[in-house]
């Protein structure tokens, strides 16, 4: 087994341990009648590498972080025929507590999802930035990864002050709210909801998949319901009905529902695992920038 596999295995074990932890602390899994799957599980061929279609590129880039005081890494997908003559929308895609800038590629191959969706005319060509959401000097996911939880909050500054400006100077991208999206899994789902909903002037499209306990209370994230309804273009919330962390997503869904904030609420029958993240990313990509 190579080191990438070991890391993936460790991340998987963390996820499983988290989701199967004694339920009392996280409130357990209690499903409401509207906690249902609204988007069917797609078939595995969504991630099949196809011949005869154009493929985008995946590059590992580095940017200067004034927040952390280091050069930090991010994986960046550019779509087929990327050209400086166009201005592209950008999705910032955030990993979980045991992951890093490679995690989404291992769990869901977003480049393959995108290549296929673009070829089928089902998604807008976009740039996908997969950074390391652990904003601290040693940002490798080793040892007790829960000790780095505070660094996932610090990443808000790294993202806004360092990463977004770096992406916007390096690539030919739009700087408009309607062309910026943020989404993530678990810890990265919580980050996406926290950062996205607190900066709705920056991000128009927000997705939280299986969001973790770092997710702030809905009342804190959306203090002004009518401003949210005017600005936000997409709120996408999903979780598996076997995921012990579902209460964090349910709270946001219930708040959005009570306040008539349009949103996608997709409760599939997975746990805290890569299948639900891949499937929900697949649907999020089709709804972004539309
Ligand atoms: C926690 C349980 C799970 C927590 C974070 C997680 C910060 C994150 C899990 C993941 O990203 O997979 O109590 O606290």
Q: pLDDT of 134-182, one tens digit each?
A: 999 999 999 999 999 999 999 999 999 999 999 999 999 999 999 999 9
The CATH-assigned architecture of domain 3-287 is 3-Layer(aba) Sandwich (3.40)
Q: Which two tokens stand for residue 172?
A: 């030919």
Q: Give CA–CA dist 139/99, Å, rounded.
A: 10
> Distance (Å, rounded) from C-alpha 115 to C-alpha 119?
6
Spans of all domains in the chain: 3-287
Asked if the model's pLDDT at residue 25 lies above 70, the reply is no
> CA-to-CA distance for 142 and 139, rounded, in angstroms?
9
Residue ranges with strand state E in the chain: 57-65, 70-78, 90-94, 127-131, 180-185, 205-209, 234-240, 264-268
Q: How far is the CA of 75 from the centre of ligand 1 (A)?
A: 23
Is 183 touching ligand 1 by the criterion CB < 6 Å?
Answer: no
| Ligand 1 atom closest to Cα of residue 214 | 7
Residue 130 φ then ψ, to 5°: -115, 95
Residue 290 has pLDDT above 70, yes or no: yes
pLDDT at residue 28, rounded to an integer: 86
Q: Which of 26, 16, 31, 39 is nearest to 250 (CA)?
A: 31
pTM value is: 0.93
Atom of ligand 1 nearest to the CA of 25: 13
């Amino acid at each position: 087994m190579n080191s990438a596999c070991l890391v993936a295995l460790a991340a998987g074990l963390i996820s499983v341990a988290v989701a199967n932890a004694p339920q009392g602390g996280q409130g357990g899994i209690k499903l409401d009648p509207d906690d249902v799957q609204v988007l069917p599980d797609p078939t595995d061929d969504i991630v099949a590498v196809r011949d005869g279609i154009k493929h985008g590129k995946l590059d590992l880039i580095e940017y200067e972080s004034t927040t952390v005081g280091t050069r930090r890494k991010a994986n960046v997908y550019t779509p087929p025929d990327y050209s400086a003559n166009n201005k592209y929308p950008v999705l910032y895609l955030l990993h979980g507590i045991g992951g890093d800038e490679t995690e989404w590629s291992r769990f869901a191959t977003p480049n393959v999802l995108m290549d296929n969706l673009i070829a089928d005319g089902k998604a807008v060509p976009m740039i996908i930035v997969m950074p390391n959401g652990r904003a601290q000097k040693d940002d490798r996911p080793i040892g007790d990864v829960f000790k780095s939880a505070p660094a996932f909050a610090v990443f808000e500054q790294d993202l806004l002050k360092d990463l977004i400006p770096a992406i916007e100077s390096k690539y030919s991208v739009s700087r408009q709210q309607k062309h910026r999206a943020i989404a993530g899994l678990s810890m990265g789902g919580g980050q996406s909801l926290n950062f996205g909903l607190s900066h709705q002037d920056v991000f128009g499209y927000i997705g939280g998949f299986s969001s973790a306990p770092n997710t702030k209370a809905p009342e804190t994230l959306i203090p002004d319901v009518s401003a949210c309804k005017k600005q936000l273009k997409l709120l996408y919330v999903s979780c598996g009905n076997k995921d012990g962390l579902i209460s964090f997503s349910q709270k946001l869904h219930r708040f959005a529902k009570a306040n008539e904030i349009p949103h996608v609420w997709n409760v599939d029958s997975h746990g805290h695992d890569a299948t639900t993240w891949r499937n929900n990313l697949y649907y999020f990509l089709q709804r972004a920038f539309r």
